[in-house]
Amino acid sequence: MKQFNTQHWFLPLLLLCVLIVAGCSSTTTSAETQAQNNPSVEQTLTPSSPTSTQPMANSPQLNGKATVVMTVNKSPITIEIDGTNAPITAGNFVDLVNKGVYDGLAFHRVVRDPQPFVVQGGDPQSKDPKFPSARLGTGGFIDPKTSKERMIPLEIKPKGAEQPIYSKTLESAGIQKAPVLSHTRGAVAMARSQFPDSASSQFYFALADLPFLDGSYAVFGYVTDGMNVVDQIKQGDRIQSAKVTQGLENLKN
């Protein structure tokens, strides 16, 4: 019988915990943490979960592909957004880019040691340079139409499926197939808390292949050019601009 290699599994589990704690919603991993990080968290509710075949009707959707060019440290990062396999997640991101939400926001979490993991940003609170850095990672996009945080359902499409699975990880849905959009180096995905439907505006770049995240977090695109720029991002660096350069006509609100 082979012995269980605890060292082999410890690091992926540790990194996974880092990402979960970094979830973008103000609903974090415990009631105590919520109260410490966001005094108004009691007014923020996790949205009702859509069924596996009926995503949120009022969510922006991307029907097809789009291209986003993000400028960081005066250098462009080109991202191909995949609305074919992740229409709601991709639509949310393209809509926020088009609204200028990401312009000026900081990357508040960069994990490269003990091995490359993620570069995470997209917390609207980071636009204010005086906002406490220790509290970054708790904010999401506040929709001016509703004055509430816009959250989207977890959306993962298994290989061979016609439609994505919503509001569940593939494991909790009992699906053993790999997702169509996997966490290869250069993947762009949504950060969230422990609650599946808590992604809002925070996203991350995968700095390496991260297969242990597949099926649990929603990938919606890939860096096609400028990964060298991503590799140089430091904590506190800001997104100077993010623009939809192609495919905006595929966005449906």
10-residue averages of pLDDT along the chain (253 residues): 41 53 38 31 31 60 98 98 98 98 98 97 97 95 94 97 96 95 98 96 98 98 98 98 98 93
Cα 85 from Cα 179, distance rounded (Å): 10
pLDDT confidence of residue 13: 52
Question: Closest Cα to residue 110, out of 243, 249, 230?
Answer: 230
pLDDT confidence of residue 85: 98
pLDDT confidence of residue 59: 87
pLDDT confidence of residue 58: 76
240, exposed or middle or buried, with CB in 10 Å at 0-12, 13-18, 19+?
middle
DSSP per-residue string spanning 29-42: S-HHHHHHH-TTGG
Residue 189 near residue 209 (C-beta atoms within 8 A): no
Per-residue tokens: 159: 């290989």
Going along the chain from its start, the domains and CATH numbers come out as 61-252 (2.40.100.10)
pLDDT confidence of residue 15: 56
